[in-house]
Amino acid sequence: MLNKPLTKRQLGWLLLVGGVAAFIGIIGIDILDAGREGGIGPAQQTALTFFALLALVGLTLLPLGDAPA
Amino acid sequence: MHNRAAFFSLLHRLLLAAALAILAFYLIVYLAYAANLLLFPFDYDQGEGFELVDTILFSRGRWPYMNTEVFPFYSSNYPPLFHVLAAPLVSLFGPAYWYGRLLGFLATLVTAAAIGFAVYREGLAHANRRAYLVTAVLSGLAYLASNTVYHIGPLFRQHATMVMFETLAVVVLARALDIVSPRQRRAALLAGLLLIIAAGYTKQLAAVTLAAAAVFLFLRGPLRAVLWTALAGAIGAAIFVWMNAATDGEWWRQAILANVNELHILQTIGLFRQWIGLHGFLIAAAVLLTLHELYFDRLSLYSVWFVLAVLINGSASGTWGGGDSYFATAIAAACILSGVFAARTLSGGWHFPENYLSRRLVEPLKPHSALLRAAGLLIIPLLYIGYGRAVLHLPTQEPGFSQVAQFLQIQPNAQNGFYDSARTADGQYPSGYADIGHFVTAADAEAGWRIVEMIAQSEKPVLSEEAGFVLQAGREVVTNPTQLLNLDKKGLYDGSALIEMIERQEFGLVILRAQFYPERVLQAIGRAYRHTETVRMNGFNYLILRPADGSS
């Protein structure tokens, strides 16, 4: 199992879960660090867009099933 | 019908020849630039001289990672391999810039050859090998034609050598898992990982290639990835611990702690825009091949490397000390991917297995496959011609080139009559883009020797922001200003010993260029020294300061 190539579906789940987790994490920084001024800056905006895209790519890989990644 | 096919074929060949000619022209520009720089005896790119100092120290069996609080207040912040490779040449030829610049230049040629080989190898099992051979040549030339690769290649700096080791590692590892013999497969994996370690000990930025290799191996078998990455990590860590012990912890302090710099997001954005503007044709092809691998094939190491190099090194280009050179790894990856894309298009080697995307996107196009194939024959050479136009750079006043510049109606927009498409018509460029690429002149060398003469006339040590003048005068190099600044930004620098020497006017001369010393060191210089003259060399003003009390 551990030495088999990853499938498209497995890669899709990794990207989806990783993207969503990172997206929530970045938003979380702002919520937890509420005293900070300036809100979401350009670096955070870029990171949020990237992780949203990553999750979306993951989602589109799920239907590809057991094809090797 | 037959006539139309013959016409397309002829047009395809003509365009391909034009693309080859354009990229071959950039090779000539590159050769001329390298020849021009090899003979220049002073710093050309800011900080080159300190790399020479590191090399000299290694040639004497000494580490360049030292305590910057004691005289001569010097330390390096770069890993050792490039300097170790050049060190034997110090014994043979004495301290000089040319062999370090030659090593960097040769590294770019090896990288271009490796890129070409990677593209050609993809076509070995294909009937139309000629398409792969032609695009292999185009891909290698495309790497050398990049404005970024052009201007960092023939420098006494480690970046081009790091990219060479990275590219060799990726080319070895990309096919390692396809080797049938377990013994040969293990040997290839080990060789690839050792090359990555070599890249990492040339410059820290190569960490991205280790990450790419780890992700690629993980996709092909997680357990194997963990084992091999752990092995590479153990070898790399053992070298690290040994170096740290041998330098009393200065390796960790100078090369790691001092090298973590703050990110300027606007610089990152500016450099990304510039990179896309210059390399957009290659990037588009690389992205399309990556998407094809993601949805219709298996992800190759090249694609993983490209994506991570763009995201990680591209983002890091906005750090203090970063710049457009941070895209060099992504450019190498883009050249390989775009080359494979081009060769597949020319040879009709695209395959789209049945899935929800091919049903929606590919099936409707199948009735037009002949037309698309013919269009591909024209689009591919146009892609390289477009790239050739985007990266336009050449000297406009040198013999041979001036006629080309005249024909193309190009006005110089950089120093010494150089034209660089990375700049605007009035010479502006994004923050972080290296202000180099121009040819040096005899007047530049004369100006440098004038500064050397001033140093020779002084009986005291000299504080120079660039090491070349001091080395040429046969004096000891004191401080590495950018490293002091790196340390200062992290709160790791005290500087009282250097400041006391400055206040006591123990330096006969102070030579400033970019004024990259910590603020309080500059303030001390301002109090104890006065500006007496300015020497312009290589497009930059060198400020000569003498002790305020008139002694030197």
For residue B395, the one-letter residue type is P
CA nearest A63 in B: which residue? B356
Spatial separation of the C-alpha atoms in residues B159 and B124, rounded to whole Å: 31
Look at A43 and B298 and tell me if their CB atoms are within 8 Å: no
Where residue A28 falls among pLDDT bands split at 50, 70, 90?
confident
Contact B386, B281 (CB under 8 A): yes
The pLDDT of residue A34 is 57
Which amino acid is present at B132? Y
Q: Which residues of B358-382 are buried (b: 16+ CB within 10 A; e: fewer)?
A: eeeebeeeeeeeeeeebebbebbbb
DSSP character for B217?
H
Angle at B481 between CA B479 and CA B482, to 5 degrees: 135
Kindly determine whether residue A6 and residue B218, on different chains, have CB atoms separated by under 8 Å.
yes
Query: What is the pLDDT averaged over residues B537-545?
Result: 94
Q: Residue B442 is encoded by which pair of tokens? A: 């005899």
pLDDT at residue number B128: 79
DSSP class of B394: E
Check pLDDT > 70 for residue A35: no
Mutate which of B185, B217, B265 to disrupt the A interface (most A C-beta within 10 Å)? B265
3-class DSSP assignment, residue B541: strand
What is the pTM (predicted TM-score) of this model? 0.95
What end-to-end distance do the CA atoms of chain A give, in Å?
Answer: 15
Q: CA B153 to CA B434: how far, in whole Å?
A: 12
* Inter-chain residue contact B219 with A57, CB threshold 8 Å: no
Question: A-chain residues within 8 Å CB-CB of B263?
Answer: 43
Amino acid residing at B26: Y
Does residue B104 have a pLDDT over 60? yes
Residue B422, pLDDT > 60, answer yes
Q: Quote the pLDDT of residue A30.
A: 76
- Per-residue pLDDT tens over the stretch B366-413: 999 989 999 999 999 999 999 999 999 999 999 999 999 999 999 999
Please check the confidence at residue B92 and state whether its pLDDT lies above 90.
yes
Residues B430, B319 contacting (CB under 8 angstroms):
no
Question: Residue B542's beta-bridge partner residues?
Answer: B535
**Residue B238, class by beta-carbon neighbours within 10 Å (0-12 exposed, 13-18 middle, 19+ buried)?**
exposed
pLDDT exceeding 90 applies to what percent of chain B?
93
From the list B221, B265, B353, the residue facing A3 with the nearest CB is B221
Q: What is the pLDDT of residue A38?
A: 64
Interface of A with B (CB under 8 A): 2-6, 11, 41-43, 46, 50, 57, 60-61, 63-64, 67-69
Quote the pLDDT of residue A36.
62
User: How many residues make up chain B in this entry?
Assistant: 552
Find the closest chain B residue to A51 by CA distance.
B311
Q: How far apart are CA B418 and CA B437, in angstroms?
A: 8
- Residue with structure tokens 């070895």? B172
Cα atoms in the 13 Å half-sphere on the side-chain side of B230 = 6
Report the interhelical angle of B328-347 vs B129-145 (nearest 10°).
Answer: 160
- Out of A29-33, B15-19, B234-238, B434-438, which region has the weakest mean confidence (pLDDT)? A29-33
CA closest to A65 among chain B residues: B355
Long-range Cβ pairs for the range B189-196 (8 Å, 24+): B189/B228, B190/B231, B193/B169, B193/B228, B193/B231, B193/B232, B193/B235, B194/B235, B195/B165, B195/B166, B195/B168, B195/B169, B196/B165, B196/B166, B196/B169, B196/B232
Pairwise CA distance, residues B165 & B160, whole Å: 9
Nearest to B219, CA basis, from A3, A24, A50, A33: A3
Which of B363, B545, B398, B525 is closest to B458 using CA atoms? B545
Q: What is the mean pLDDT of chain B?
A: 95
Quote the minimal CA–CA distance from A1 to chain B in Å.
9
Chain B residues in contact with A69 (beta carbon < 8 A): 219, 298-299
d(CA B12, CA B62): 58
Of residues B94, B116, B95, B103, the one with CA closest to residue B37:
B103
- Shortest Cα–Cα distance, B289 to chain A (Å): 14
CB pairs under 8 A between A and B: 41
Average pLDDT over residues B229-252: 96
Confidence of residue B4 (pLDDT cuts 50, 70, 90): confident
Q: Å from B265 to nearest chain A CA?
A: 6
Which residues does B166 contact at the CB level (< 8 Å), separation at least 6? B195, B196, B199, B206, B209, B329, B332
Q: Write out pLDDT tens, residues B331-375.
A: 999 999 999 999 999 999 999 999 999 999 999 999 999 899 999
In chain B, what is the straight-line distance between the N-terminal and C-terminal CA atoms, in Å? 85
Q: Lowest mean pLDDT of B4-13, B21-30, B352-361, name the range.
A: B4-13
Q: What is the pLDDT of residues B124-172, one digit of tens each?
A: 877 778 889 999 999 999 999 999 999 999 999 999 999 999 999 999 9
pLDDT score, position B273: 97
For residues B381 and B16, the answer to whether their CB atoms sit within 8 Å is yes
**Gap from A22 CA to chain B (nearest CA, Å):** 15
DSSP string, B270-315: HHHHHHHHHHHHHHHHHHHHHHHHHHHSPPPHHHHHHHHIIIIIHH
pLDDT in tens, A8-24: 999 999 999 999 999 99
Distance from CA of A31 to the nearest CA of B (A): 22
Chain A residues in contact with B308 (beta carbon < 8 A): none
Average pLDDT over residues B8-17: 94
